[in-house]
Structure 1
Amino acid sequence: MHTRECFVSAPGKAILHGEHAVVHGQVALAVSLNLRTYLRLQSTSSCKVCINLPNIDTFLSWEITALQRLLVGCKELGDLKELDANLLNRLREFTGISDGSTDTRSMAVLAFLYIYLSVFAEAESLASITVSVWSELPTGAGLGSSAAYNVCLSAALLSARETISSPLTHQQESARWSKEEMELINRWALMGEKVIHGNPSGVDNAVGTWGGILRYHAGNITPLSRVPVLRILLTNTKVPRSTKVLVLGVKDKINKFPSVMKPVLESVSAVSCTCEHTLTEMATHGPSAEHYNVLEELIDINQHHLNVMGVGHSSLDTLCRVTLARGLHSKLTGAGGGGCGITLLRPEIDASVIQSAIEELKGYGFECWETSIGAPGVQLHSPTAVKQGILKILNSY
């Protein structure tokens, strides 16, 4: 291992259109958020592996020799098709994390150790490293925080193992890997997502890897070649919800009223396709007022569809009411039933209008971020480019 230090980041994700309908074979659009997870990997001579996760107050280390013993008898860890159940069981026993555990701390540790051991399994020896991760993304909010984490882990560990190149030159502040290397990062990140979620769709880690806007349909994920960067207000209502319960509720409603609900799902798919066409036009010819008018109408239509599906919530109604009073258009993003919503911000909107909306929403106990969608995917950074920002934060822990 020749890498002394590397610094990477990956974006979170939101669903622009197609929630729930995508489960039933319709088109959805997933977008990257310009809220990122950052990772610094340092090689050390401590003969230990350390993980620092200050967002969730987790600081752990293990002896290399103890971890090395876990690999005895494990085969084909680089298969990247299915998890190695033998290694996963050993890691659970080693860490004391039970099979039914789903808490954020346990899952983050388990994913890290699984990817680390798998990546370095065929090396002459395990690498002595310290990995520190800090994120702008809240956990458990449906914004792809675990996927951004796994994408960062995969990119950094593959770089440290020298499985992928180091594309950053002395003149660059940030760089991205080749298409083939990105595909490898994405496949490893999916392994981490499987550790955490069991059977993920692969959308979240794909967004974290490629960034921009992705079209998801019947299991096929296609990045849009050209996308505009759009400003949004992201709001977390902080209302807890169960994605599983909400998905089952939509399924029950479809089974009960098939002639009513199937056209709704098809209409949601049409919204996604119309939005995709509009975004492509904006990227090709430049955005216009009419483009924003269309995007706003599509947001309103889709939000009504989601309410028809039964995944709305009074907190999301509040978000839509508060923002619409200021001429802004909002919809839920993700599973619904609370959780998060997005509000499109036109270029000409006055900052005071946005701030007024944020203040009122905070009064309801919501949390808001003014950010953008269409951000770049996973990137390798020069430490000097960010030393006044994230490195300063990481060094404080």
Structure 2
Amino acid sequence: MAAILELFVSAPGKVILHGEHAVVHGKVALAAGLNLRTFLRLKPSKDNGTVVVNLPNIGTKLSWNISDLQALVPSFQESPDHGPVSPSPEQLDILKTFAGISNGTRDTESLAVLAFLYLYLSICGQKLPGLEIVVWSQLPTGAGLGSSAAYSVSLAAAFLTLTGMISSPALEDIDTTRWTQTELTLINGWAFQGEKVIHGNPSGVDNAVGTWGGALRYQAGQITPIERVPVLQILLTNTRVPRSTKTLVAGVKDKLLKYPDIMEPVLSSINAISEECQRVLQSAENGLSKEHYSLLEELIDINQHHLNVIGVGHPSLDRLCQVTASHGLHSKLTGAGGGGCAITLLRPDIEPTAIAAAKQQLSDCGYGCWETSIGAPGVSLHSSSSLPEDVSKSLKTT
């Protein structure tokens, strides 16, 4: 184990720029790092005989004796090459029994605990360290913004650093640092296993965005980083309308089967939007021009109309688009639709008063609204002095 007094790690959330739902049918989707982040603090426990995990966002604080956890280790043997290992049903049953979680339970706390225990036992191996971990997030849970992946990425990076499987760079002279591509690949591989614990059969997009940040292209299971993507300022709005991704995906499939000659061209058009957006972003080597922003706004508008056509819109999203349009802004849903979240592009020349007015109106609708950015950096190691004050305060609430 590496001698670590205190470790601070963060990973970003994610948004889908274009391609939601069409990606299920083999089309291109573009995902980007969202600069609302999950932060983790790790330090050795005082007596080295316990593991404490504190998740203040969901009001969870649990502790276990190392001796009890050590008894589980034989069921979580590390692979010969120390590479990521997928959780087996038997391992998950062992963890559920240990944590007192009933089969079929899918609440946020239970899934977070299972992912924590799986990654801790699998990565830390034979001699388990006593730890105190706090994980605090700027991301709302269950909103389709990659909160579980940011959690899994942060845990994987922290445990791999602690065990010395990846480097622990000195932070005295810099605010944040990142790992090598080989190390990031290892972090991503283990984070994907954490996502499997939580979601069963994830695509791998969310943990890849959480690891590498920036923007990624996803098509038919292939994930490709997009280079030289500029950071875009956005409003992120949560309508707070709950929705079932499974039901929405099934609805699109039903329409495609019923009206193939109508739906297939719409999905192909969404694919073309993703391709054009990627072209625009990568053509802006010297920054985005006014013309670039106009193109991006047009693509947002067209895609939002397409998403309504395929049946994943919602009156709450229509209202959101009307509000932002009244201030000269362009919005589209991000993720599954049917409520959930939307992104609004903020051009550099937009007046701050227009942004403030839009945010106020959206809040008046009962929506949650954040002014943030996409194209954010991936998983990062921080010095304590570089953390924002609210983050530092939250992580020290143990």
Q: What range describes the TM-score normalised by the shorter chain of this pair?
A: over 0.9
SS at 2:338's partner residue?
coil
Q: 2:122 aligns with which of 118, 124, 132?
A: 118
SS at 1:4's partner residue?
coil
The yes-or-no answer on 1:90 pairing with 2:91 is: no
SS at 2:73's partner residue?
coil
Q: Partners in 1 of 2:394 and 2:100 — Cα distance?
A: 30
> After superposition, what is the alpha-carbon deviation per residue over 1:48-73, rounded to whole angstroms, capped at 9, x for unaligned?
00100000000100000000111234
Q: Partners in 2 of 1:203 and 1:248 — Cα distance?
A: 20
The letter for the 2-side match of 1:261 is M
Q: Partners in 1 of 2:347 and 2:336 — Cα distance?
A: 25
Corresponding residue for 2:104? Answer: 100
Corresponding residue for 2:50? Answer: 48
Change (3 A) 1:257 1:214: same
Corresponding residue for 1:80? Answer: 84
Q: 1:278 aligns with which of 280, 290, 295?
A: 280
SS at 1:72's partner residue?
helix
| CA shift for structure 1 position 76 | 4.3
Change (3 A) 1:79 1:167: closer
Contact 1:74 1:86 in 2 (8 A): no
Q: Partners in 1 of 2:132 and 2:76 — Cα distance?
A: 24
Change (3 A) 1:347 1:95: same
Contact 1:25 1:218 in 2 (8 A): yes
Q: What is the percentage of aligned positions where both structures have the same residue?
A: 60
The yes-or-no answer on 1:190 pairing with 2:211 is: no
The letter for the 1-side match of 2:8 is F
The letter for the 2-side match of 1:109 is V
| CA shift for structure 1 position 89 | 1.1
Change (3 A) 1:387 1:20: closer
Q: Partners in 1 of 2:77 and 2:61 — Cα distance?
A: 29
Change (3 A) 1:366 1:279: same
Q: Partners in 2 of 1:387 and 1:359 — Cα distance?
A: 25
SS at 1:346's partner residue?
coil
Corresponding residue for 1:173? Answer: 175
The yes-or-no answer on 1:300 pairing with 2:304 is: no
SS at 1:29's partner residue?
strand
Corresponding residue for 1:336? Answer: 337
The letter for the 1-side match of 2:159 is L
The yes-or-no answer on 1:382 pairing with 2:386 is: no
Q: Partners in 2 of 1:187 and 1:72 — Cα distance?
A: 22
The yes-or-no answer on 1:215 pairing with 2:217 is: yes
Contact 1:331 1:342 in 2 (8 A): yes
> After superposition, what is the alpha-carbon deviation per residue over 1:129-173, rounded to whole angstroms, capped at 9, x for unaligned?
011010000000000000000000000011011110012342111
Q: So what's the TM-score if we normalise by structure 2?
A: 0.97
Q: Partners in 2 of 1:160 and 1:214 — Cα distance?
A: 28
Structure 1: any 5+ residue segments left out of the alignment? none
Structure 2: any 5+ residue segments left out of the alignment? none
SS at 1:240's partner residue?
coil
Q: So what's the TM-score if we normalise by structure 1?
A: 0.97
Q: Partners in 1 of 2:143 and 2:264 — Cα distance?
A: 28
SS at 1:285's partner residue?
coil
| CA shift for structure 1 position 81 | 4.7
Contact 2:213 2:379 in 1 (8 A): yes
Q: Partners in 2 of 1:153 and 1:276 — Cα distance?
A: 31
Contact 1:39 1:131 in 2 (8 A): yes
> After superposition, what is the alpha-carbon deviation per residue over 1:325-377, rounded to whole angstroms, capped at 9, x for unaligned?
11100000000000000000000111110111111111111000000000100
Contact 1:41 1:132 in 2 (8 A): yes
Change (3 A) 1:237 1:388: closer
Number of positions where the alignment pairs a residue of Structure 1 with one of Structure 2: 394
Contact 1:211 1:377 in 2 (8 A): yes
